[in-house]
Structure 1
Amino acid sequence: MSSGRSVSPSSIVRSPATWVLTVAIILIALNLRGPIVATAPVLDVITRDLGLGALVAGLLTSIPVLCFALASPLASGVIGRIGPERAVTLGLLGVVAGTLLRSAGGQGALIAGTILLGVSITIGNVVLPVVIRRDYSPERAGFVTGVYTSALNVGSMITSLGTAPLADSTGWPLALVVWGSFAIIAGLVWCAAVGFRAAVVGTGEPVDRDVVTGPIEVITASIPVVSVADGDAADRLEDRSLFRRFSTWGLTLAFAGQAFGYYGLTAWIPTLLHDEVGLTRAGAGASSSVFQIMAVVGALGVPFLALRLRPVVIVALVSACWIFMPLGLLFAPHLWLLWSLFGGAAQGGGITIVFIIIVRMVTSDLEARRLSALVQGGGYALASLGPLVVGAIHDASGGWTLPMVVVFVSVLTLGVSGVLSARRVR
């Protein structure tokens, strides 16, 4: 196994151009969550115009999340075959094509475009951490990773704020298409950062498949490797060991509870606030943007807390703050801003503390990658049901009480499973 960085002779980080690469990474990250949540502020209009039920409407958010779990091996293979530079370009082109197809009209185009978006965003999810790990020093990689994850939430905030006002003046199809311009701009800056030839034609250099993994790789880049054995037999032994650990399944449930609550609320908060508080679509979209942008506070704040507090304490704090969101919307929806502040910061901190627990629990890069793959793959697979389940229960019950109870249970799962899994982690 290769334990070091795979830096090609044509490494794209050159001192004068490092800032261009960083800007490109930020712009690309804006496209990795924003298109998913763009439909939420206008979901009621889309369902009315296309005659969708709540279950089908929930697919618009569920499908991309399911792609995160199922299409990651495909994305890894694509990156290994064509290289990170062209993989980024391919992902951005897919975002543009998916955005256009989703707004072409009809349920079929809507679902097909959403699937294309999900697969394309999955490529971006996998490849950007590879670029960061490869082309930044360990000291800078942590900072750039923080900026990258923050930009994910900023992209969600922008689309949450802007989609409804655009839809009021242009209609929802064009309002969704507009966000494809972000991918075009990101692609142009990416070409400037790495060079047009590398971004489009490729360098023809092999890619070290050991670094084609996911976000956890950036965090674990400086962890020393403790190699037990080489070969397939050792790999299978490692896999069996992970499957037999309570902590593996506990962290998977914790991650699933966190992501289920996040995507379930992201898909339906605007509709809930329109129904329960009487906000306009634009106002409801603005309210959901608070939930998204506060995640930046949690994502950046939890690592600082982790310097002084044990992970088990942080999981408990994050879960306690998270629970304010579904309970607050259940009993006092008019105080949505207060609940969004708590819940937004907590959901940003929730995913961060899970990764921190993984890093402190493992003893090698290999174990980190495999535990991360298990936790994220299983977690995202369960989380993809969030928008579907919340929408279906709302459809069946005709109100928002039972859906918020479901979100409460998912957040409680994060707390209980996370605390039990992190008890012995220092």
Structure 2
Amino acid sequence: MQHQSTVASGASRPVWLIAGILLFATNLRAPITGVAPLLDMIQNSLGLGTTAAGMLITLPLLAFAVVSPFAALLAREYGLERSLFIALVLIGMGIVIRSTGPVWSLYLGTWIIGSGIAIGNVLLPSLLKRDFPEKVATLTAVYALTMGCVAAISSAIAFPLAHFSGLGWRLGIAMFVILPLVSALIWLPQLGNRTAPAQGTAAPPHGGRVWRSALAWQVTLFLGLNSFVYYVTVSWLPTILRDAGYSPEHAGSLHGALQLATAVPALVLMPVMRHLKDQRLAAFSSSIITMIGLLGLLLAPEWATIWTVMVGLGTGAAIILGLAFVSLRASSAHEAAALSGMAQCVGYLLAALGPTLVGWLHSDLGGWGVPLSLCAALCFVMALFGLLAGRAIHIVGAVARRRLA
């Protein structure tokens, strides 16, 4: 009887583990991006300027840059499962702090949320690589879609919930605490395990070959510029649309459509990525699609649905490609971990610059022409980096060829 019980428990573990992974994915975007439809309400309530409001998206990205590289160290000390549980606790605690109290608690809670999400961003893929090595592409696509769907729903309901409940923006951002609470409950069965992260998990950034590699910088800047553009759009799209004459509810719905669209490319690209001879065309095309979408929002905002979906598809495809480049361009798991740490640190620092810079430009210049034109121009630069990063070569081979030359 005891043996049968053990077998049944072992057989059920993958079910609970997959459920936990998918629920965990719901926490990785919505608590940050769901704030954007409420930015106007928060600004008016607390007297914040546009630049200060942009910090609500910038702070989590700074936390990503600072905390992400050290997530692997946390997992080696406390185990992968317990570290992911700690991440859920941080996200839940941050949401509570953010939605109550004065302005300082709004920013403190936002930083704590970003720290928890940073840990999850690094360790969740590590868990997939370790426990489901044959299904990494499929499960990554499914959890990306889950992440996008929940973020889309959250963005669509945040403003109506805050507006029509009469309780204001605090309820709109407090509702996200449901996600870590439910996720933590489902994750509890995993706490009996204490295992190390996968070998290729991002390590703290340090000097070395990857930092001296042109190819590594091409991968890093492709990812970083895409993150810059994505988080600018996520932060300010509802405000851009409201300034163009859309209702807050319609703007929130389109903001949700943006996030849903970012998840769609994962379903196509993840299974076929390694079968492509190189990824130059895909990287170039995704950047140009994003550029067209941004220019469309500027020049023809009446067709915002089309442009929003294009931006979502373009940035979603680029993030999948950029993350794939980390493993495809590296020649070993150790090198992939070093490149991942470099790309995340530099990439998130670039991304963190975006919302605040664009908010300042909008305040100073009084319009969205320059900010959107700047983002479109960066998409073209990103396309050029995509042509370089998408070549079917490795960092070691690229370094060797440069020395021979």
TM-score by length of 2: 0.89
Contact 1:160 1:289 in 2 (8 A): yes
- The one-letter amino acid of 2:378's match is S
**2-structure distance, mates of 1:84, 1:383:** 27
Q: Determine the structure 2 residue equivalent to 1:6.
A: none
1:193-232 correspondence runs (5 A): 193-194=189-190, 198=191, 205=194, 207-208=195-196, 211=199, 213-214=201-202
Q: Determine the structure 1 residue equivalent to 2:30.
A: 34
**2-structure distance, mates of 1:84, 1:420:** 35
Q: Determine the structure 1 residue equivalent to 2:250.
A: 283
Offset at residue 331 of structure 1 (A)? 0.2
Q: Determine the structure 2 residue equivalent to 1:225.
A: none
Identical amino acids, percent of aligned pairs: 31
Q: Determine the structure 1 residue equivalent to 2:137.
A: 142
1:274 paired with 2:274, answer no
Deviation per CA, 1:278-327, whole angstroms, max 9, x where unpaired?
22222111011111101121122223554346301111111121112210
**2-structure distance, mates of 1:415, 1:12:** 51
**1-structure distance, mates of 2:18, 2:127:** 11
Offset at residue 424 of structure 1 (A)? 4.5
Q: Determine the structure 2 residue equivalent to 1:101.
A: 97
The gaps in structure 1 that reach 5 residues or longer are 1-9, 218-234
1:186 paired with 2:186, answer no
Q: Determine the structure 1 residue equivalent to 2:324.
A: 356
- The one-letter amino acid of 1:293's match is L
**2-structure distance, mates of 1:423, 1:128:** 28
Q: Determine the structure 2 residue equivalent to 1:263.
A: 231
**Greater CA drift, 150-159 or 21-30:** 150-159
Cα distance, 1:127–1:362 mapped onto 2, change above 3 Å? closer
- Among candidates 371, 377, 383, match of residue 409 of structure 1: 377
Offset at residue 78 of structure 1 (A)? 2.2
1:101-140 correspondence runs (5 A): 101-136=97-132, 138-140=133-135
- The one-letter amino acid of 1:78's match is L
- Among candidates 257, 278, 289, match of residue 310 of structure 1: 278
Contact 2:138 2:271 in 1 (8 A): no
**2-structure distance, mates of 1:351, 1:11:** 39
- The one-letter amino acid of 1:248's match is A
**1-structure distance, mates of 2:76, 2:27:** 22
Q: Determine the structure 1 residue equivalent to 2:50.
A: 54
**2-structure distance, mates of 1:211, 1:371:** 13
Contact 1:13 1:135 in 2 (8 A): no
Contact 2:130 2:198 in 1 (8 A): no
1:62-101 correspondence runs (5 A): 62-101=58-97
Would you say how many aligned residue pairs link Structure 1 and Structure 2?
385
Q: Determine the structure 2 residue equivalent to 1:232.
A: none
**2-structure distance, mates of 1:144, 1:421:** 25
Offset at residue 345 of structure 1 (A)? 1.0
Contact 2:326 2:339 in 1 (8 A): yes
Contact 1:357 1:425 in 2 (8 A): no
**2-structure distance, mates of 1:61, 1:13:** 42
**2-structure distance, mates of 1:15, 1:117:** 34
Q: Determine the structure 1 residue equivalent to 2:41.
A: 45
- The one-letter amino acid of 1:107's match is V
Contact 2:41 2:169 in 1 (8 A): yes
TM-score by length of 1: 0.85
**Greater CA drift, 391-400 or 404-413:** 404-413
Contact 2:291 2:376 in 1 (8 A): yes
The gaps in structure 2 that reach 5 residues or longer are 1-5, 395-405
Q: Determine the structure 1 residue equivalent to 2:357.
A: 389
4+ long deviations beyond 6 Å: 10-13
Q: Determine the structure 1 residue equivalent to 2:289.
A: 321
**1-structure distance, mates of 2:7, 2:74:** 19
Q: Determine the structure 2 residue equivalent to 1:222.
A: none
**2-structure distance, mates of 1:73, 1:364:** 18
- The one-letter amino acid of 2:184's match is G
Contact 1:264 1:387 in 2 (8 A): yes
**Greater CA drift, 381-390 or 260-269:** 381-390
**1-structure distance, mates of 2:8, 2:108:** 34
Secondary structure (helix, strand or coil) at the match of 2:343 reads: helix
**1-structure distance, mates of 2:351, 2:7:** 36
Contact 1:254 1:417 in 2 (8 A): yes
**1-structure distance, mates of 2:155, 2:9:** 33
1:374 paired with 2:362, answer no
Q: Determine the structure 1 residue equivalent to 2:261.
A: 294
**1-structure distance, mates of 2:176, 2:112:** 15
